[in-house]
Amino acid sequence: MQGNSKTPLLVVEDSDEDFEILQIFMEDMAVTNPIYRCTTGDKALDFLYRTPDTEADTIVQPSMILLDLNLPGIDGRDVLVRLKQDEQFREIPIVIFTTNSDPKDIKFCYRKGANGYLIKPVRTERFEKAIQAFVDYWLNTNTPPDWVELTGLK
Amino acid sequence: MRQSEPLHGPGRLQQDHELFPVHLIGSTQPYGVLMVLTESTFTITQVSQNTFDYLDIRPQSLLGKSVLDLLEPSSRAQLQQSLRTCTHHPSYVPIAITVANTVKSFDGLVHRTNQCTILELEPASPQQTGQPSGALQNNLHQVIAHLRGVNDITDFLQTAVTEIQTLTGYDRVMVYQFDQYDAGSVVAEVKPPEEVSYLGLHYPATDIPTSVRQLYQQSTVRFIPDLTAPPVELITIENSAAGPAEEVTSPLDLTYATLRGVDPCCIEYHQNMGVAALLVIALVKDNQLWGLISCHHRTPKFLPCSTRLACEVLGQLVAAELGSKVDKTELHYINSLRTIQADFVDSIANAKNFKQALIEPALRLLDMVSAQGAAVCLDQDITLIGHTPTLEEVKTLSKWAMTETSTEIFHTSCLSDVYPTAATFKTVASGLIVLKISQFRRYLILWFRPEVLQTVNWAGDPQTSVHETDEGHILLCPRNSFEQWQEIVQATAIPWQPAEITNAVALKNAIVGIVLNKADELAQINLELERSNRELDSFAYAASHDLKEPLRGITNFSNILLKRHGQALNESGIKRLQTLVKLAERMDGLIDALLKFSRLGQTALLLQPTDLNLLVPTVVEMLQAGREEDLPPLQVQIPLPLPIVSADPVLITEVFSNLLSNALKYTDKPQPLVEIGCLTHEERLEQQAATDITPDSCVLYVKDDGIGIQTRHFQNIFRLFKRLHERDSYGGGTGVGLTIAKKIIERHGGRIWVESVYGEKTTFYFVLNCKEK
Helix (H), strand (E) at residue B384:
strand B381-386
Which chain B positions have a beta carbon within 8 Å of A125's beta carbon?
559
- Interface probe, candidates A14, A17, A23, A122, chain B, greatest B C-beta count within 10 A: A122
d(CA B488, CA B509): 38
In this structure, the number of other CB atoms found within 10 A of the CB of residue B523 comes to 10
Q: Is B188 helix (H, G, I), strand (E, B) or coil?
A: strand
* pLDDT bucket at B486, cuts 50 / 70 / 90: low
| pLDDT of res. B453 | 67
Find, among B495, B378, B475, B491, the residue nearest to B425 by Cα. B491
Q: What is the mean pLDDT of residues B199-203?
A: 83
Q: Is B65 helix (H, G, I), strand (E, B) or coil?
A: coil
Rounded to a whole number of angstroms, the distance between the first and last alpha carbons of chain B is 94
Cα–Cα–Cα angle for B132, B135, B140, rounded to 5 degrees: 85
DSSP output for B457-513: EEES-GGGGEEE-TTS-EEE------SEEEEEE-S-PPPPPHHHHHHHHHHHHHHHH
- At B564, which amino acid appears? R
d(CA B571, CA B566): 9
| pLDDT of res. B454 | 61
Report the gap between the CA of A73 and the closest CA in chain B (Å).
Answer: 16
d(CA B69, CA B57): 13
| pLDDT of res. B448 | 92
| pLDDT of res. A81 | 95
d(CA B96, CA B73): 9
CB contact under 8 A, B585 and A123: yes
A101, A103, A127: residue with CB nearest B556: A127
Q: What is the mean pLDDT of residues B545-560?
A: 88
Burial of B685 (0-12, 13-18, 19+ CB in 10 A): exposed
* pLDDT bucket at A70, cuts 50 / 70 / 90: confident
CB A118, CB A130: distance < 8 Å: yes
Give the rounded distance of the alpha carbon of B19 from its chain centre: 37
d(CA B143, CA B146): 5
CB A108, CB A101: distance < 8 Å: no
Q: Which domains does chain B have, with CATH numbers?
A: 19-128 (3.30.450.20), 134-231+253-326 (3.30.450.40), 329-454+491-496 (3.30.450.270), 497-603 (1.10.287.130), 604-772 (3.30.565.10)
| pLDDT of res. A153 | 52
Q: What is the mean pLDDT of residues A33-43?
A: 92
Q: Is B770 helix (H, G, I), strand (E, B) or coil?
A: strand
Q: Is A76 helix (H, G, I), strand (E, B) or coil?
A: helix
Cα–Cα–Cα angle for B1, B2, B6, rounded to 5 degrees: 90
Higher-confidence residue: A138 or B730? A138
DSSP-assigned beta bridge partners for residue B224: B278
Q: What is the DSSP letter of B413?
A: S
Q: What is the mean pLDDT of residues B347-371?
A: 79
pLDDT 10s digits, B470-485: 555 555 556 666 666 6
| pLDDT of res. B325 | 78
B548 touches chain A (CB under 8 A): yes
| pLDDT of res. B129 | 45
Higher-confidence residue: B209 or B248? B209
- B474-476 vs B12-13, strand pairing mode: antiparallel
CB contact under 8 A, A99 and B545: yes
Rounded to a whole number of angstroms, the distance between the first and last alpha carbons of chain A is 14
d(CA B277, CA B225): 5
* pLDDT bucket at B544, cuts 50 / 70 / 90: confident
Q: What is the mean pLDDT of residues B277-299?
A: 91
- The order of strands in the sheet holding B409-412 is B381-386, B373-378, B443-449, B431-438, B409-412
Pick from A35-44, B311-320, B529-538, B648-657: least confident: B529-538
A15, A24, A103: residue with CB nearest B560: A24
Name the most confidently modeled range: A78-87, B88-97, B411-420: A78-87
* pLDDT bucket at B408, cuts 50 / 70 / 90: confident
The answer on pLDDT for B439 being more than 80 is no
In this structure, the number of other CB atoms found within 10 A of the CB of residue A130 comes to 17
d(CA B98, CA B105): 9
Which chain A positions have a beta carbon within 8 Å of B606's beta carbon?
none
d(CA B171, CA A91): 123
The answer on pLDDT for B673 being more than 50 is yes
d(CA B29, CA B262): 7
Widest CA span in chain B: 166
| pLDDT of res. A25 | 92
CB B601, CB B537: distance < 8 Å: yes
| pLDDT of res. B465 | 57
Higher-confidence residue: B10 or B23? B23
Higher-confidence residue: B726 or B160? B160
Positions of E strands within B595-643: 608-611, 635-637
A121 touches chain B (CB under 8 A): yes
DSSP H helices in A10-123? 16-28, 41-48, 76-85, 103-111
Cα–Cα–Cα angle for B327, B329, B330, rounded to 5 degrees: 65
Burial of B501 (0-12, 13-18, 19+ CB in 10 A): middle
| pLDDT of res. B437 | 83
Higher-confidence residue: B427 or B538? B427
Torsion over CA: B598, B599, B605, B608 (sign): negative
Radius of gyration of chain B (CA): 48
d(CA B146, CA B501): 35
Helix (H), strand (E) at residue B444:
strand B443-449
What number of CA atoms fall less than 13 Å from residue B105's CA on the CB side? 12
d(CA B182, CA B202): 11
d(CA B518, CA B351): 10
CB contact under 8 A, B599 and A120: no
d(CA B187, CA B204): 15
What is the pTM assigned to this prediction? 0.52
Phi, psi of B697 (to 5 degrees): -110, 160
The answer on pLDDT for B378 being more than 60 is yes
DSSP output for B194-259: TSPP-TT-EE-GGGS-HHHHHHHHHS-EEEES-TTSPPEEEEEHHHHTSSPP-TTSPPP--TT-TT
* pLDDT bucket at B281, cuts 50 / 70 / 90: very high
Higher-confidence residue: B496 or A152? B496
Higher-confidence residue: B470 or B499? B499
d(CA B179, CA B169): 28
pLDDT 10s digits, B141-152: 888 888 888 888
Round the average pLDDT of chain A to a whole number and report it.
Answer: 86
d(CA B21, CA B261): 12
Torsion over CA: B65, B70, B75, B76 (sign): positive
Q: Is B739 helix (H, G, I), strand (E, B) or coil?
A: helix
- At B542, which amino acid appears? A
Q: Which domains does chain A have, with CATH numbers?
A: 9-151 (3.40.50.2300)
Widest CA span in chain A: 48
| pLDDT of res. B120 | 93
CB contact under 8 A, B555 and A124: yes
Q: What is the mean pLDDT of residues A48-64?
A: 78
DSSP-assigned beta bridge partners for residue A12: A38, A67
The answer on pLDDT for A24 being more than 70 is yes
Give the rounded distance of the alpha carbon of B579 from its chain centre: 78
Which chain B positions have a beta carbon within 8 Å of A101's beta carbon?
595
pLDDT 10s digits, A104-130: 889 999 999 999 999 999 889 999 999
Round the average pLDDT of chain B to a whole number and report it.
Answer: 82
**Size of the A and B interface in Cβ pairs below 8 Å:** 48
d(CA B496, CA B414): 11
Q: Is B728 helix (H, G, I), strand (E, B) or coil?
A: coil
B535 touches chain A (CB under 8 A): no
d(CA B284, CA B615): 86
d(CA B185, CA B459): 9
- Interface probe, candidates B549, B580, B586, chain A, greatest A C-beta count within 10 A: B549
B589 touches chain A (CB under 8 A): no
Percent of chain B with pLDDT over 90: 20
Which chain A positions have a beta carbon within 8 Å of B551's beta carbon?
122
* pLDDT bucket at B357, cuts 50 / 70 / 90: confident
Q: Is B618 helix (H, G, I), strand (E, B) or coil?
A: helix
Cis previous bond, B450, omega within 30: no
CB B71, CB B79: distance < 8 Å: yes
* pLDDT bucket at B238, cuts 50 / 70 / 90: low
Q: Is B104 helix (H, G, I), strand (E, B) or coil?
A: strand
